[in-house]
Structure 1
Amino acid sequence: MKNYTQAPLPFQGQKRKFLKHFKEALKEFSPNATYVDLFGGSGLLSHTVKNFYPNATVIYNDFDNYTVRIENIDKTNVLLADIRAICSKNSNRKDKEKLSEGICHEIIERISHEQGFIDWVTISSSLLFSMNYVTNFDQLKKETFYNRVRLNDYNAEGYLEGVNRTKKDYRDLFADYRNNTDVVFLVDPPYLSTDTTTYNRNDYWKLSDYLNVLKTIEDTSYFYFTSNKSQITELCEWMQQHGYCRSPFDGAKTITVGTQLTYNAAYNDIMIYRNIF
């Protein structure tokens, strides 16, 4: 099974920076457990578990339809090849350059003739400034284009091999496995106040959503991902210290990874895990 160190197609919030720490922490968990990826996203955590523990049962909640994008990867590569050829006509050949109005018009014209499924996240990540995505044609037409098209095709061969795909509300999936033995929950919800445009929902994750997610890590074995921007861990610690309730993070281990956005803006990604078995 090929080992992927990042998701094969662009996805907002994939945990590639945590993979080294995640694999090290997995050594404290059973190689034969059932791992339930409640917020499957790009499937990178599910892939990593299955690659690390081939005998484990891995349940991947593909709520964002990432596998549909993988199934259409050849179609996406054909479209990107045409866009790449158009970009090569630009007078300034520097990588990630701003494209001329004429080139932008030609790209829009090419995309307008595309039939059937279009992977808007992958296409927009190839044309927009770093970490910017759109989810439909009308949005794309309003944007400024840059030549960010990769030189080689995308490939997802064997990426989710052996992983069991499902698509459910995370609460229903949690209920399916809550009372099973030797279960580990992978809990990676969208970060608090994060734009969820590219996720399969059209609103924002608010504090109440986050507090509901914490029910999945009460008295369970888990990996939970958040950031210091959400301050959810501080809230839980304060509640426990002042006698309101026991923190779901009590007795867990914490790994922090710094993320630099710009020269003067940074935040910390956080992985918290606990094995009760």
Structure 2
Amino acid sequence: MFKQAPLPFIGQKRMFLKHFERLLEDIPNDGEGWTIIDAFGGSGLLSHVAKHLKPEATVIYNDFDGYAERLAHIDDINRLRQAIYPLLANCAKSKKVPNDIKTQIIDVIKGFDGYINEHILCSWLCFSGQQVKTLDELFKEDFWNCIRKSDYPSADGYLDGIEVVSESFHTLLPKYQTDPKALFVLDPPYLCTQQASYKQENYFDLIDFLRLVHLTRPPYVFFSSSKSEFVRFIEAMIEDKWDNWQAFENYERVIVKTSSSYSGKYEDNMVFKF
């Protein structure tokens, strides 16, 4: 079982895996008769773990960000890494890249004859945690030597047996709304935070957040962060008895303390109710 996504993805939830695995123990046997809907699939890591631990369950990975396409081009991604890596040989790790070297790297990228992904390149060439939406935006940034030293391993088997779809959560989730054996795995972009790593800019706003909250019902696991106000919001829901407050009454919560170079220390949350 993969313990992290095969290719870089911000917010892949690997720090929550042991807690997620423990939660899946509430699904009996090997998951026969159950459906696990990873509605904001991201890197697919939670879908992969769910299928590995509950092989008889139907696992639906909503790949709204095109991550499966990246996995299909690991050979090209490794080939591009091999072309860029020697140019950084004399640049200190995690340090700013001189402009002449940056120009050479851009020329290599522009001349590359295979698959190119700006988010992968950003993980190699931008300051930790930074995000871009396009190659043009990447080229305007300062470059930093964050490139990995070795090729990415094969992703063979990562999505085996998983149903990959790509649709809005508010058309996907209602299909399973009344199924008591459908687990909603909800890891949306955090409200009021940078969403540049996602394929569709601003695809999760306040209206989408409210739609999702009203679609949520047990059993579910909902990921959030102290960067957003999700926990405060559901506490207000319960206290003031807003619509669908019962779905969150007596919820359980796991907190993982983390940090980033931009925001300092914060908390990631896993809120769940079975």
Instruction: Provide, for residues 33-73 of structure 1, a one-character-per-residue CA deviation record: whole Å limited to 9, x for no partner.
Output: 21011111110110111111122210000111100111111
Whether 1:101 aligns to 2:99 is yes
- Indicate conservation of the 8 Å contact 1:259/1:268, yes or no: yes
Which one of 114, 130, 143 corresponds to residue 128 of structure 2?
130
Instruction: Provide, for residues 238-264 of structure 1, a one-character-per-residue CA deviation record: whole Å limited to 9, x for no partner.
Output: 232234442431132111111123599
- Indicate conservation of the 8 Å contact 2:226/2:268, yes or no: yes
Deviation at 1:133, TM superposition (A): 2.7
**Partner of residue 164, structure 2:** 165
Which one of 20, 23, 28 corresponds to residue 22 of structure 1?
20
Give the TM-score, by structure 2 length. 0.91
Which one of 141, 144, 147 corresponds to residue 143 of structure 1?
141
- Indicate conservation of the 8 Å contact 1:193/1:204, yes or no: no
**Partner of residue 78, structure 1:** 79
Mapping of residues 55-94 of structure 1, within 5 Å? 55-88=56-89, 90=90, 92=91, 94=92
Letter in 1 for 2:189: P
Q: 1:171 to 1:165 in 2, by over 3 A?
A: same
Mapping of residues 223-234 of structure 1, within 5 Å? 223-234=221-232
**Partner of residue 238, structure 1:** 236
Distance 1:227 1:209 in 2: 17
Identity %: 37
Q: Which piece of structure 1 moves more, 42-51 or 131-140?
A: 131-140
Which one of 102, 113, 116 corresponds to residue 115 of structure 1?
113
Letter in 1 for 2:215: T
Q: 1:244 to 1:130 in 2, by over 3 A?
A: closer
Instruction: Provide, for residues 74-103 of structure 1, a one-character-per-residue CA deviation record: whole Å limited to 9, x for no partner.
Output: 111101100001112x3x4x3222222221
Instruction: Provide, for residues 201-220 of structure 1, a one-character-per-residue CA deviation record: whole Å limited to 9, x for no partner.
Output: 112643332121112323x3
Distance 1:130 1:264 in 2: 11
Whether 1:46 aligns to 2:47 is yes
Q: 1:80 to 1:170 in 2, by over 3 A?
A: same
Distance 1:97 1:265 in 2: 20
Q: 1:243 to 1:186 in 2, by over 3 A?
A: closer
**Partner of residue 195, structure 2:** 196
Deviation at 1:27, TM superposition (A): 1.0
Distance 2:81 2:263 in 1: 34
Distance 1:237 1:264 in 2: 24
Distance 2:80 2:162 in 1: 28
Distance 2:254 2:135 in 1: 40
Deviation at 1:174, TM superposition (A): 0.8
- Indicate conservation of the 8 Å contact 1:225/1:270, yes or no: yes
Structure 2 runs not aligned, ≥5 long: none
Give the TM-score, by structure 1 length. 0.91
Q: 1:114 to 1:262 in 2, by over 3 A?
A: closer
**Partner of residue 265, structure 2:** 266
**Partner of residue 216, structure 2:** 217
Distance 1:109 1:74 in 2: 20
Q: 1:100 to 1:229 in 2, by over 3 A?
A: closer
Distance 2:94 2:42 in 1: 27
**Partner of residue 7, structure 2:** 9
Structure 1 runs not aligned, ≥5 long: none
Structure 1 segments, 4+ long, off by >6 Å, are: none
Letter in 2 for 1:61: N
> What is the aligned-residue RMSD (CA, Å)?
1.9
Letter in 2 for 1:65: G
What is the number of residues matched between the two proteins?
Answer: 269
Q: Which piece of structure 1 moves more, 61-70 or 129-138?
A: 129-138
Distance 1:262 1:105 in 2: 26
Distance 1:111 1:148 in 2: 16
**Partner of residue 179, structure 1:** 178
Q: Which piece of structure 1 moves more, 149-158 or 61-70?
A: 149-158
